[in-house]
Structure 1
Amino acid sequence: MGQGVEIIRIGAVLPPGIDRLLEEAESEGVRNVRMLVSAWASGEEQFDRKGAALFGAFSNEQCVGLGGVTRQSGLDEPAMRMRRFYVSPSVRGQGVGRLLAQAAIRQGLAHARLLTCNARATPSAGPFWLAMGFMPASLSNITHICRRV
């Protein structure tokens, strides 16, 4: 699973190769990477607030996936939100998404007992988050939650 893939926390600069991921995502009709790049450039979303982190999956020094966690607002309790997950089609089915999600889940649960996500981006997103231990939810812009007990 994820052999030869390294998960690295991304700092102040988006990784080289983000343009390739952006092209792949857009060719599939997935907006996550475009939203990340735009919000990063504007300073709106740089994963630099308390508890937030963006992770990149790298294989042969190429960025082949992204995913992160930020604070979730608007709930009655502290929560963290899984955000901007995308894995290159060239490495899907090799555990890369799972490795990214595990890093983000660890980060999120270190800062809150509740994790949320919106799995409407692709048909495979919902089953993926279920497999990662999330449960279906029907809240505004939240399709799945995971609670640490």
Structure 2
Amino acid sequence: MIESARELTVRQLLELPSAILQLEAESVTEGFRFLTRLITDWRNGSNRFDQPGECFLGVFCNGQLIAVGGLSYDPHAAPSVGRLRRVYVTRTSRGLKAGSFLVEHLLEHAASRFQAVRLSTDTPEGAAFYLHCGFRPVEDDFATHVMSFSDAT
């Protein structure tokens, strides 16, 4: 079991690791399909988080992939707005700071490129998590939460 964020490492993923299939299988059992979309989009080249300012990160504990998440341009907003996408933390790693660790690194990366970051979540647990990370709710057809870097001071 993970004791603290100090035991976690984060790496930019330039290729999908084979362990992504285990995360996808777990996520599907929870009713989530976004890792399946991630794998499909990556394989067909439609989204590899490889545009300037974008990134795809993995969180590892003892060499094991336990969380993933990406930052891209928000296709529903101005070019100065990024979007958190495909954030998933394994069930056994939730509540142990892995998700916060991941989002913190994604936001650090975003702050150098974007004025704001948006995301969409459809679960109460996800909404509570992003509020805890400093996002605020937003009424929008394409986003449920936003963080403006000018507001994050």
Q: TM (normalized to structure 2)? A: 0.91
- Contact 2:59 2:68 (8 Å CA) reproduced: yes
Distance 2:79 2:139 in 1: 16
Distance 2:39 2:84 in 1: 16
**Is 1:100 aligned with 2:102?**
yes
Q: How much has 1:16 moved relative to structure 2?
A: 2.6
Q: How much has 1:46 moved relative to structure 2?
A: 0.1
The answer for the alignment partner of 1:143 in structure 2 is 144
- Contact 1:16 1:62 (8 Å CA) reproduced: no
After superposition, give the CA deviation of every residue in 1:25-50 in whole Å (9 maximum; x if it has no partner). 00111122111111111101100001
**Is 1:6 aligned with 2:9?**
yes
Q: How much has 1:15 moved relative to structure 2?
A: 1.4
Q: Quick one: which amino acid aligns to residue 126 of structure 2?
A: A
Instruction: Provide the alpha-carbon RMSD of the alignment.
Output: 1.2
Higher strand share: 1
Q: Residue 128 of structure 2 aligns to a residue in which SS?
A: helix
- Contact 1:57 1:65 (8 Å CA) reproduced: yes
Distance 1:25 1:74 in 2: 25
- Contact 1:119 1:125 (8 Å CA) reproduced: yes
**Is 1:84 aligned with 2:103?**
no
Q: TM (normalized to structure 1)? A: 0.93
- Contact 2:72 2:83 (8 Å CA) reproduced: yes
Aligned residues: 147
Q: How much has 1:53 moved relative to structure 2?
A: 0.3
The answer for the alignment partner of 1:28 in structure 2 is 30
Q: Residue 145 of structure 1 aligns to a residue in which SS?
A: strand
Q: What residue ranges of structure 2 are gaps of 5+ in the alignment? A: none
Q: What residue ranges of structure 1 are gaps of 5+ in the alignment? A: none
Taking every aligned residue pair, what percent have the same amino acid on both sides?
26
Distance 1:19 1:113 in 2: 33
